[in-house]
Amino acid sequence: MKSNKRPLKNAVRKRIATSTAKFLSWQLKSYGKTRIRIYEGSYHSHKRRAFPNIGIIFQGPILSSKDIEFLSKSIESALQIVPIENIVVSTWNSTQIEAIRRQLPCEVIVNQDNESLGNHERQLISTSSAIEKLKLNGRVEFMVKMRVDQRFDFEPLFANCLTLLATFGKKRVVFASNNSFKYRPFGLSDMFTFANRESSEIFWHCKPNEVYNLRNLQINEKFAPWHSTENTFWTESFLNIRFASYCGFEFGPSVWDDSLRYMGQHTVLIDSDYFGHDWTKLPSVFVGSTEKMLFNRHRPELLQEWNFNDWWRIMNGDFETQTPKEIF
């Protein structure tokens, strides 16, 4: 009896390619006659257009057996798209390390933590160490950085990310809408990034002994009202401002305008929920510094997140460019 495995897989690929084409033709209907290249297939596909070589970094602390179980299922899902040598887990030393190494099938990097490190430094150190490991592969063309406590429907997600980069510029970085708050300038979420190898290295590179503060980025007093505390920027804002600086972005007199221009020139935003974003922290409300700060100002409406349609309007110059008065 003939196996029906291949027809089923081909049917799934066809559905994904069709849904991708329909989704983007609707979302990008005002983009004119620009040819949109729809990616389909996967690493295991024998179809003509398979995915390019994609490396996946799962980054962050793994503190319990539940964390390991969740991550293990994420890796299992990712293996439908990429080979095992393209997956790296970059975490911190903990009591779970032996269990992590025993239960996860991929490369595991254990970074040494230090109480003096800030969140942005931890992310840069652990992500850059994983990038260096993936570079040894030699064939990785695109890199995904995501948290260990989240997963997506990887195949349609990657198809859309590749399509959007091919359409709007291969040097952009793709971000997800969840936790990308509108009223946190340059605040696109650092939970997920998808970019080509060069842009990934620029965004996440970590120089030894570099002092990670905005003085190094020549950001002046006009950013002061946007601090999350008296002297500290949100990690998301810091990372995006840092990337903008390295890309030669010219900062102007308005933080709000700069943030919108940065989004239009250097980023792409996807809608997390469209791609089945599963984040173990989602049931927890107001868990982060941004949520607490905005909620404590008694303005919960400020917790609005960017979405694809917002990004698209910014790309087309059809978005409010005045600084929102309620922020100040």
Q: Where are the domains of the chain?
A: 26-327
* Residue 194, CA distances (Å) to 8, 44, 157, 249 in order: 28, 20, 10, 20
Are 264 and 315 within 8 A, CB to CB?
Answer: yes
- The pLDDT of residue 269 is 94
Are 223 and 255 within 8 A, CB to CB?
Answer: yes
129, amino acid identity:
S
Token code pair at residue 142? 């695109």
- The pLDDT of residue 33 is 46
Classified as helix, coil or strand, 317 is coil
- The pLDDT of residue 209 is 55
Q: What is the mean pLDDT of each run of 10 residues along the chain (328 residues)?
A: 42 48 56 53 46 92 90 93 93 84 93 77 91 91 95 87 88 94 87 96 79 50 52 76 90 85 95 82 51 53 82 82 53
CB neighbours (10 Å) of residue 224? 11
- The pLDDT of residue 185 is 83
Question: Which residues fall within 8 angstroms of residue 4, CB to CB, at 6 or more apart?
Answer: none
pTM score of the predicted model = 0.82
Classified as helix, coil or strand, 56 is strand
Rounded CA Rg of the chain: 20
Domain 26-327 has CATH 3.40.50: no
Question: Which residues fall within 8 angstroms of residue 150, CB to CB, at 6 or more apart?
Answer: 74, 191, 192, 277, 278, 279, 280
- Compute the half-sphere exposure of residue 318: CA atoms within 13 Å on the CB side of its CA: 6
Q: CA 193 to CA 143: how far, in whole Å?
A: 8
- The pLDDT of residue 280 is 74
Helical H segments across 79-224, by residue range: 97-103, 119-135, 154-168, 197-204
